[in-house]
Amino acid sequence: MAEVSTSAERYPLRNASPEEADRLGSLQSLHDASTVRRLERLGIGPGWHCAELGAGAGSIARFMADRVGEDGSVTAIDRDTTLLADLGARHNVTVVADDLGTMDFGRSRFDLVHSRSVLMHIDDADAVVERIVAALRPGGAVLFEEADGSPATVAAARADLPAPFRAVMVPLASRWTWARGAAERLDALGMVDVHDDVREDLLRGASPGAAFWRQTLRSIRPLVTDGPRMAALGHHSIDDAGIDAMLELLEDPAFEVPFTARHRVSARAPSPESGPGPL
């Protein structure tokens, strides 16, 4: 899914760019099969009312629309809805161009809310989640698939860690901290059946994941090499030579390092009944 931020300056990539559309397509190919399996385990089916946060290129919103059928609905939300035009033509889909950091999700509207690689980029994700929980119907479920960069930051102490990874990827990953506390936050909000499936992902050269990160680094190069912009965000800039070296490393099949821990957090709103489906 597209990474949506409360600040256009913090994450200014736009889906309308052909390069970003290609990058989102790569993200979908990496994770869609796993996401679909988890949504199916949650029981998504006819008549459900769902929300997709950061709908991006729309693959999961399309899957949801097919599953919920004529009597269900899908609200596909993204800051940039350029790639969702075909979805907007479907009678059971509402495409919303909005900022997750400020939008009102309503109350008791949804049976299922999903995010993937979205909340990890929002400045106050806890506040967004609080509003999402309020928007769930009794028994409604959430599935948040978000990455934590702690494996990369821990690996940074290793003497054998390649310098380009330390200079380029570790600073990026160190900002991804929200996911590690997501389950605890949902529990504090009164959600039940809270589960956090955590799996560490290695970054391997010459892999599909490495190809995605080559696309990403090319997209963000003008942003992360802009010293004044990065300083305004409280980060150090990255030099072009470091990015070039990292791009080369991502093509090397011998390169393999710990990178992220992907949290797949599910939970259900309390209900006197069983809820819309098992978690």
Low-confidence ranges of the chain (pLDDT < 70): 1-16, 273-279
Residue 21 has a pLDDT of 82
Let me know if 9 is exposed, middle or buried by CB neighbors in 10 A (0-12, 13-18, 19+): exposed
Q: For 92, phi and psi rounded to 5 degrees?
A: -100, 15
- How far apart, in whole angstroms, are the C-alpha atoms of residue 80 and residue 99? 9
Q: Which domain holds residue 235?
A: 18-268
Please give the angle made by the CA atoms of 218, 224 and 225, to the nearest 5 degrees: 95
- How far apart, in whole angstroms, are the C-alpha atoms of residue 247 and residue 201? 19
Q: Is residue 239 part of a domain?
A: yes
Two structure tokens written together for 129: 């989640």
Sign of the Cα pseudo-torsion (134, 136, 137, 141, in order)? negative
Q: Is residue 81 part of a domain?
A: yes
Q: Is residue 275 part of a domain?
A: no
Residue 273 has a pLDDT of 66
Which helix (H) or strand (E) segment holds residue 73: the answer is strand 73-78
Residue 20 has a pLDDT of 85
Let me know if 238 is exposed, middle or buried by CB neighbors in 10 A (0-12, 13-18, 19+): buried
Q: Is residue 218 part of a domain?
A: yes
Are 65 and 127 in contact by the 8 Å Cβ rule? The answer is no
- What are the tens digits of pLDDT across the range 138-162? 999 999 999 999 999 999 999 999 9
- What are the tens digits of pLDDT across the range 254-279? 999 999 999 999 999 998 764 454 45
Domain count, the chain: 1
Q: Is residue 3 part of a domain?
A: no
Phi-psi region of 128 (alpha: psi -120 to 50; beta: other; left: phi over 0): alpha
Q: Is residue 1 part of a domain?
A: no
- pTM of this structure: 0.90
Q: Is residue 121 part of a domain?
A: yes
Going by C-alpha positions, the residue among 276, 277, 205 that lies closest to residue 246 is 205
Residue 10 has a pLDDT of 46
Residue 81 has a pLDDT of 95
Residue 16 has a pLDDT of 58
- How far apart, in whole angstroms, are the C-alpha atoms of residue 267 and residue 94? 24
Q: Is residue 42 part of a domain?
A: yes
Cα–Cα distances in angstroms (integers) from residue 76 to residues 62, 143, 207, 261, 271, in the given order = 9, 15, 30, 26, 25
Which CATH number is 92's domain given?
3.40.50.150
Which helix (H) or strand (E) segment holds residue 202: the answer is strand 192-204
